[in-house]
Amino acid sequence: MNKNFVRFQPSGSKSPCSEGATILELARDAGVSIESICGGSGKCGKCTVALVAGADLLSPMNDNERRTLSKDEIDSGLRLACQASVVSEGNITVDIPEGSRRGHHRLLAAGIEPDIPLSPAMSKILLKIPPATLRDIRADDDRLLDMLNAEAAVRANIAPGVHQRMPHALREKSWEATATLYMKEELIGIDPGDTTSDILGVAVDVGTTKVVAYLLDLLTGNTIGTESQPNPQIPFGEDVMSRITYAMTNDDGLERLQKTVIGTVNSLIRQLCEKVGKNPVDVLELIMVGNTAMHHMFFGIPPNHLASAPYAPAVRKSISVDPNHLGIEIYPFGKVGSLPNIAGFVGADAVAVLMSSGLYDDDEMGMMIDIGTNTEIIAGSKDRLISCSCASGPAFEGAHIKYGMRAATGAIERVWMDAAEKEVLVRTVDDAPPRGICGSGIVDAVSEMFKCRVISASGKIDASSDWAERTREGPDGKLEFVLAEGESNTDGARGVSITQNDVQEIQLAKAAIFTGVSTLLRKLGIRCSDLKRVYAAGAFGTYVDASAAITIGMYPDIPPERIRFVGNAAGSGARMALKSVDARKLADNLSQKVEYIELASEKDFQSEFAKAMFLPHRELDRFPTVARAVANSFDR
């Protein structure tokens, strides 16, 4: 009986140790997914793992590993899982770094979330109230509030509509009733009997393209459901600016934009509740986050002035309104609130990401990047935080890219080019035949094409590279690079290539982001290497390969392990606020504390942008690691 195992961290899964098997094979046996594109040939380098124990039981490092891993990686004991095999049975422990975990990204989609003490705004108290008698003729309100004060030391006011329910609610179950309190100061509900076991809340992230809603049990703090739908405002305008224009140029434009998104939120609430057998009327509070324009439209606040300088938001502070005021179909005397905004293009969603990332509390310098059509960046440490917004456009969402698509089945999400074999290896979502390419795939492709000199530093596709047979002229007369041939694949496949125009779109997008990055660093008086942590938020930020993003000059040139993926951190921040009034206070403080700079009014904005258009950058000393790697690649 084999008592030796290979254990995989951090999951703790294990597999019997079997001589001759590679770590990659044993990982699969253990049900642990390790990233790998090159089919175990030791070339793509995606399956890098760290040996924690039993390194001497493995085959010695081979040439593939020496070629693929950097000196630093080799020195710190990393191996390629597809190359290292067991030579002598024993107990081995392998740690799989974040970047090598396949599927890890998807798990992150819900967003990481710091463990915070539960202190929701909504609470319930069961009261046994002395009945009204001729000897005790106190009014119902006095009777109820006196009891609340006696039982829970709460001195509350009764919310207007609740008065109407009070007389029956108190008497229906013989003066046993449950009081619902908001912030322990406003009595927003009184129900007959004991209903203390139901306290639900909903957190909503209203993204420009997607609305995600989370149902939370506020007694446990657990998220008991997640649902999403496309933002129904898309038909009124793909991006924020065109929706603002719609609101400005149509008499009932704002009202329509508001109604449609409120309708979707109501539908998500219904779905969430149905799945767990609850009633939307049991949802006591909804907290929304979104960019400033989505926030304004959600609350019916004219977003007009976000469209032109100085881009002042109407509302920065967090707000809380009656559900009826907006038509949100939850408990009618509940609350619908938002986190605060920071500026016209750094909204409540950025505050939420900042809060869930923990950057605001870091001693060392860090940066949070939430990539979307507008990319919000906040940099600094607990002493000072500066934010900006970059018009990065929708390229990473697949828009304006010839074969661009969302990360759905068949989308190329990983690209690796085998320089030796002149082979392009791709991985698609659900391993389906390639139908198009999503954001992470595009960044991988541009990065690989640059490393393999298919494109120059200025982004021009070179017809005479070593990869000429994959380079062809497209219908527009411009060159394009073929990632996958349609005819070579099974049903549903189509040819996918990267066009000259695609490359330029990516350059524009990444230049916009890096201009923000470099401006914030300059304002803080620090360099890229001073950044001890970069929090990559949002769906794209979570899926994109950090090294590829650094290679093309989108992320600052720091060791990839300093990049932490925080998933849909906007949703996480909204959930934190729902679970904790302290988190709301933190958000209010952060929204005031974080400085904002308007990039376009920075005097060197144009030249910074122009320099950032190059791959990775015109000033190569800002990307020393990339410069070295590309030089190596050229040497190959």
Check: CB of residue 361 under 8 Å from CB of residue 382.
Answer: yes
| Bond from prior residue into 10 cis (ω within 30 degrees of 0) | yes
Q: Which among 127-135, 363-371, 495-503, 573-581 is the span making contact with a copy of itself, rule CB under 8 A?
A: 127-135
Q: Is 332 in the site for a copy of itself (CB under 8 A)?
A: no
Task: List, in sequence order, the alpha helices (H) in 153-284.
Answer: 166-172, 240-249, 253-275
For position 313 contacting a copy of itself by CB under 8 A, the verdict is yes
Residue 518 in contact with residue 526, Cβ under 8 Å?
A: no
What is the CB-side half-sphere exposure of residue 168 using CA atoms within 13 A? 3
Q: Which is nearer to a copy of itself, 169 or 272 (CB)?
A: 169
Q: Select 129 or 353, whichever has its Cβ closest to a copy of itself.
A: 129
Residue 575 backbone dihedrals phi, psi, to 5 degrees: -65, -40
Stretch that binds a copy of itself, among 55-63, 138-146, 230-238, 272-280 (CB under 8 A): 138-146
Instruction: Single out the residue of 175, 214, 298, 299 in contact with a copy of itself (rule: CB under 8 A).
Output: 299
Query: To the nearest whole angstrom, how small is the minimum distance from the Cβ of residue 581 to a copy of itself?
Result: 16
- The number of residues in the chain equals 636
Q: How far apart are CA 396 and CA 405, in angstroms?
A: 9
Nearer residue to a copy of itself within complex by CB, 19 or 142: 142
What are the residues facing 389 on neighbouring strands?
A: 376
- Tell me which of 40, 232, 237, 300 binds a copy of itself, using CB under 8 A: 300
β-sheet with 471-473: strand ranges across: 471-473, 479-484, 496-499
Alpha-carbon distance of 102 to 428, in angstroms, equals: 12
Is the Cβ–Cβ distance between 143 and 132 less than 8 Å?
yes
Q: Which of 330, 328, 227 is nearest to 279 (CA)?
A: 330
Q: Which of 186, 485 has the CB closer to a copy of itself? A: 186
Task: Tell me the number of residues near a copy of itself by CB under 8 A.
Answer: 46
Q: Which is nearer to a copy of itself, 260 or 489 (CB)?
A: 260
- Residue at token pair 């698509």: 405
Asked whether position 307 contacts a copy of itself by CB under 8 A, the answer is no
What is the layout of strands, in order, in the sheet containing 122-128?
122-128, 176-182, 186-192, 157-158
Smallest gap from Cβ 133 to a copy of itself, in A, equals 5
**Residue type (1 letter), 418:** D
Nearest to 502 by CA among 403, 570, 428: 403
Closer Cβ to a copy of itself, 3 or 603, answer by number: 603
Q: Tokens 């393999």 identify what position?
A: 452
Out of 67, 155, 163, 522, the residue judged to bind a copy of itself by CB under 8 A = 163
Please tell me whether residue 319 binds a copy of itself under the rule CB under 8 A. Answer: yes
The answer to whether residue 343 forms part of the interface with a copy of itself (CB under 8 A) is yes
For residues 348 and 615, which CB has a smaller minimum distance to a copy of itself in the complex?
348
**Of the residues 15, 341, 515, 572, which one makes contact with a copy of itself according to CB under 8 A:** 341
**Shortest distance, CB of residue 297 to a copy of itself, whole angstroms?**
11
* Residue 155 touches a copy of itself, criterion: CB under 8 A: no
Which stretch in 119-127, 132-140, 390-398, 508-516 sits in contact with a copy of itself by CB under 8 A? 132-140
Please identify which residue in the block is written with the tokens 């996918």: 496
Of the two residues 130 and 559, which places its CB atom closer to a copy of itself in the complex? 130
Q: Contact, 250 vs 258, CB < 8 A?
A: no
Instruction: Determine if 167 is a binding residue for a copy of itself (CB under 8 A).
Output: yes
Residue 542 tokens read as 């979570």
Q: Which one of residues 28, 104, 171, 593 is an interface residue with a copy of itself (CB under 8 A)?
A: 171
Verify binding: residue 276, a copy of itself, rule CB under 8 A: no
Q: Does 325 bind a copy of itself (CB under 8 A)?
A: yes
Q: Does 150 help bind a copy of itself (rule: CB under 8 A)?
A: no
Q: Are strands 92-95 and 5-9 parallel, antiparallel or unpaired?
A: parallel
Residue 69 binds to a copy of itself (criterion: CB under 8 A):
no
Show the site string, 576-615: x = touches a copy of itself by CB under 8 A, - = not.
--------------------x-x--x--------------
**432 is a site residue for a copy of itself (CB under 8 A):** no
**Of 317, 384, 628, 636, which lies in the binding site for a copy of itself, with binding defined by CB under 8 A?**
317
Provide the minimum distance between the beta carbon of 395 and a copy of itself in the complex, in angstroms, as a whole number: 28
Residue 286's φ and ψ, nearest 5 degrees, are: -125, 130
Q: Which of 276, 309, 610, 631 binds a copy of itself (CB under 8 A)?
A: 309
Q: DSSP readout, 390-447?
A: E---SGGGTTTSTTB--S-TTEEEEEEEETTTTEEEEEEGGGPPP-EE-HHHHHHHHH
| 90 contacts a copy of itself (rule: CB under 8 A) | no
By the 8 A CB rule, do 90 and 47 touch?
A: no
- Closest CB 350 distance from a copy of itself, rounded Å: 14
Q: Across-strand partners of 202?
A: 215, 286
Residue of 161, 230, 263, 624 that binds a copy of itself (CB under 8 A): 161
Instruction: List the one residue from 111, 344, 398, 571 that touches a copy of itself (CB under 8 A).
Output: 344
| Total Cβ atoms within 10 A of residue 235 | 11
- Looking at 117-125, 309-317, 366-374, 610-618, which segment touches a copy of itself (CB under 8 A)? 309-317
Please give the single-letter amino acid code of residue 409.
T
Q: In sequence order, which ranges of 16-78 are alpha helices (DSSP H)?
A: 23-29, 63-68, 71-75
Among 120-128, 165-173, 274-282, 459-467, which window interacts with a copy of itself (CB under 8 A)? 165-173
Q: Which of 12, 75, 137, 277 binds a copy of itself (CB under 8 A)?
A: 137
> Please, what is the minimum distance in Å from the beta carbon of residue 239 to a copy of itself?
21
- Copy the structure tokens of residue 428: 């698609």
The single residue among 87, 107, 276, 312 that binds a copy of itself, judged by CB under 8 A, is 312
Report how far residue 86's alpha carbon sits from residue 441's, in angstroms, rounded to the nearest whole number. 33
For the bound state, the minimum distance from the C-beta of residue 187 to a copy of itself, rounded and expressed in Å, comes to: 12
148 binds a copy of itself (CB under 8 A): no
Q: State how far Cα 109 lies from the chain centre.
A: 6
* Minimum gap (Å) between residue 325 Cβ and a copy of itself: 6
d(CA 340, CA 343): 9
Residue among 164 and 197 whose Cβ is closer to a copy of itself: 164
Quote the least distance from Cβ 157 to a copy of itself, whole Å. 8
Q: Which residue has the tokens 């253990």?
A: 30
Please tell me the distance from the alpha carbon of residue 381 to that of residue 379, in angstroms, as a whole number. 7
Answer whether 196's CB lies under 8 Å from 179's CB. Answer: no
Q: Kindly give the residue spans of alpha helices, DSSP state H, lying in 236-347.
A: 240-249, 253-275, 292-298, 323-326
Q: Which residues bind a copy of itself (CB under 8 A)?
A: 132-134, 136-143, 158, 160-161, 163-164, 166-168, 171, 299-302, 304-305, 309-317, 319-322, 325, 341, 343-344, 596, 598, 601
